[in-house]
């Protein structure tokens, strides 16, 4: 390979970086990697794949000189200060028109700051979410780029080649200016938290109320994955119930400590939704449940102290049917909340997001890929300005048909002391969003009563205050 003509540069040859660069090479683009860690550079050289198209170095000048201009350099390094440090290292070597792509889960305001800083220097910056884990990076991730529209043309052929394909369509698209890509990826992760929490609640219900064994759970999730719940998360859930313990007897899932970790993207989604004033209760509670799960020692003491009711007997086949319908209902409500947040953020931050495009690039490659996304994409294609998925006639049908089961499941679980907070928040969200009248008139009265905060009336225009009790 000659000097100066590699198509693509990649900084950070950890698992994700290594897989991504090999994916680029598999698609016949030449790629040059850079990492300070010699072992990682060597590890890349030892990988299988189209190695003629790949090279790597620990020397930044070798790396920079190897790349054709405008240079297209993707960073796959941990979010935070490291991204700034890498940018500072690269900057003295770059030329105007070069492109830096941050492929990590960076916080969107960091991306805006970096974008403005680099724009002053004539460098284009892309905050680009990449979803699908290590396998996705190697075989085809869903990619969510945001940045300069013109500069995207330079990156487009490579991203379209390496991305996952849904019926031949690439799961990547230019999403919008500045941090649009990182923002979309953040909300993708918020939805991911919601769907994961929902599947774990349904697992709990089927196990505690229906007494399903792991073998039965494997079969149930496997069957569901062949129907309308078809999705990556349901698919891997089925697989998980089949996994034997590699360190002893029994099934691995039963040996895993019930404390879930998090790196922050779900929490950021919730926090920003609060800032925007958009309700995403199924995502909020998914974050809270990871926090409650972390309180293992306290939970053990409290369990001793309070105990819980014995679940009432229920027919297994009936329970499985109710659970499928409730899960489908809650999945829809969770996507609806995340997409509502995206639509609002788009207006607030000037992203000009196209929701049908976002749903399309989520149909393959990413963690929240699901059969449902095809219908979601169609709903937004039919109505570009759809404020909420729940208002799409095609979704009204699906929700109407499944909400009775969500009610049954939530009521049953509440009586049985089985916590289903994400299913029940999805139901409550639905009931509140579809109520033309809510009791918040009383809150307005209370606010005016104790704080003279004023209120509006439903029978005449204006702002009113009353001397209550006078």
**Would you name the residues annotated as active-site residues?**
185, 192
Tokens for 4, please give them.
Answer: 């100066």
User: Judged by CB under 6 A, does residue 189 bind ligand 6PG?
Assistant: yes
Tokens 């790349």 label which residue? 67
Minimum CB distance to ligand 6PG smaller for 222 or for 262: 262
263-322 binders of ligand 6PG (CB under 6 A): 263, 265-266
CB of 137 to ligand 6PG, least distance (A): 9
Q: Is the dihedral of CA 206, 210, 215, 219 positive or negative?
A: negative
Minimum CB distance to ligand 6PG smaller for 286 or for 353: 286
Tokens 């800032």 label which residue? 275
Among 154-162, 246-254, 261-269, 415-423, the segment contacting ligand 6PG (CB under 6 A): 261-269
> Which letter, b or e, does each residue of 262-289 get, where b requires 16 or more Cβ atoms within 10 Å of its Cβ?
eeebbbbbbebbeebebbbbbbbbbbbb
User: Judged by CB under 6 A, does residue 111 bind ligand 6PG?
Assistant: no
Minimum CB distance to ligand 6PG smaller for 66 or for 79: 79
129-148 binders of ligand 6PG (CB under 6 A): 131-133
CB of 153 to ligand 6PG, least distance (A): 25
Among residues 133, 105, 156, the alpha carbon closest in space to that of 20 is found at 133
**Contact between 180 and 351 (Cβ < 8 Å):** yes
357-396 binders of ligand 6PG (CB under 6 A): 366-367
Which residue number has the CB closest to ligand 6PG? 131
Among 214-222, 228-236, 257-265, 321-329, the segment contacting ligand 6PG (CB under 6 A): 257-265
CB of 195 to ligand 6PG, least distance (A): 11
User: Judged by CB under 6 A, does residue 105 bind ligand 6PG?
Assistant: yes
The DSSP code for 178 is T
CB of 141 to ligand 6PG, least distance (A): 7
φ, ψ of residue 131 to 5 degrees: the values are: -120, 145
CB of 198 to ligand 6PG, least distance (A): 15
Among residues 332, 343, 328, the alpha carbon closest in space to that of 429 is found at 332
Task: Measure the CA–CA gap between 88 and 45, rounded to whole angstroms.
Answer: 27
| Residue spans of alpha helices (H) in 121-179 | 133-139, 149-162
# residues contacting ligand 6PG (CB under 6 A): 13
DSSP per-residue string spanning 201-267: HHHHHHHHTT---HHHHHHHHHHHTTTTT-BHHHHHHHHHHTPBPSSSSSBGGGGS-S-----SHHH
Minimum CB distance to ligand 6PG smaller for 91 or for 260: 260
Over the window 316 to 355, marking each residue x when it contacts ligand 6PG by CB under 6 A and - when it does not, the resulting string is: ----------------------------------------
Give the chain's count of helices (H) and strands (E). 19, 9
Minimum CB distance to ligand 6PG smaller for 193 or for 203: 193
CB of 134 to ligand 6PG, least distance (A): 9
Among residues 366, 370, 300, the alpha carbon closest in space to that of 335 is found at 370
User: Judged by CB under 6 A, does residue 190 bind ligand 6PG?
Assistant: no
Binding site for ligand 6PG (CB under 6 A): 105, 131-133, 189, 192, 261-263, 265-266, 366-367
């Amino acid at each position: 390979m000659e000097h100066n003509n590699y198509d693509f540069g990649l900084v950070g040859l950890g698992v994700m970086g290594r897989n991504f660069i090999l994916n680029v090479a598999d698609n016949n683009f030449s790629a040059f990697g850079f990492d300070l860690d010699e072992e990682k550079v060597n590890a890349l050289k030892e990988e299988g794949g189209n190695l003629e198209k790949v090279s790597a170095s620990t020397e930044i000048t070798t790396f920079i000189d190897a790349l054709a201009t405008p240079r297209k350099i993707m960073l796959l390094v941990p979010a935070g200060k490291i991204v700034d440090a890498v940018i500072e290292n690269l900057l003295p070597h770059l030329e105007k028109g070069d492109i830096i792509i941050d492929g990590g889960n960076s916080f969107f305001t960091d991306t805006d700051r970096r974008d403005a800083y680099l724009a002053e220097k004539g460098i284009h910056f892309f905050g680009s979410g990449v979803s699908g884990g290590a396998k996705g990076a190697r075989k085809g991730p869903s990619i969510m780029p945001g940045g300069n529209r013109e500069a995207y043309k330079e990156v487009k052929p490579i991203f379209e080649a390496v991305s996952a394909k849904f019926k031949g369509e690439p799961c990547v698209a230019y999403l919008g200016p500045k941090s649009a890509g990182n923002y979309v990826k953040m909300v993708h992760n918020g939805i991911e938290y919601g769907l994961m929490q929902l599947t774990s609640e349904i697992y709990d219900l089927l196990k505690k109320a229906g007494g399903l064994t792991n073998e039965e759970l494997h079969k149930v999730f496997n069957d569901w994955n062949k129907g309308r719940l078809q999705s990556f998360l349901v698919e891997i859930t089925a697989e998980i119930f089949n996994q034997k313990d590699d360190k002893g007897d029994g099934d691995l899932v039963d040996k895993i400590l019930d404390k879930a970790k998090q790196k922050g993207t779900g929490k950021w989604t919730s926090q920003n939704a609060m800032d925007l004033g958009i309700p995403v209760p199924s995502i909020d509670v998914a974050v809270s449940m990871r926090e409650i799960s972390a309180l293992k020692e306290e939970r053990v003491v409290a369990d001793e102290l309070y105990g819980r009711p014995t679940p009432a007997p229920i027919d297994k086949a009936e329970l499985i049917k109710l659970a499928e319908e409730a899960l489908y209902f809650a999945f829809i409500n969770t996507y609806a909340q995340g997409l509502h947040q995206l639509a609002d953020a788009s207006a607030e931050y000037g992203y000009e997001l196209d929701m049908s495009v976002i749903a399309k690039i989520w149909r393959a490659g990413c963690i929240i890929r699901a059969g449902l996304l095809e219908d979601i994409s169609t709903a937004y294609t039919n109505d570009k300005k759809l404020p909420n998925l729940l208002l799409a006639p095609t979704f009204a049908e699906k929700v109407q048909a499944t909400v009775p089961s969500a009610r049954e499941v939530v009521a049953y679980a509440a009586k049985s002391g089985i916590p289903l907070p994400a299913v029940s928040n999805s139901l409550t969200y639905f009931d509140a969003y579809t109520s033309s009248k809510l009791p918040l008139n009383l809150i307005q009265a209370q606010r005016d009563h104790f704080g003279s905060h004023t209120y509006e009336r439903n029978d005449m225009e204006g702002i009113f205050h009353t001397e209550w009790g006078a």
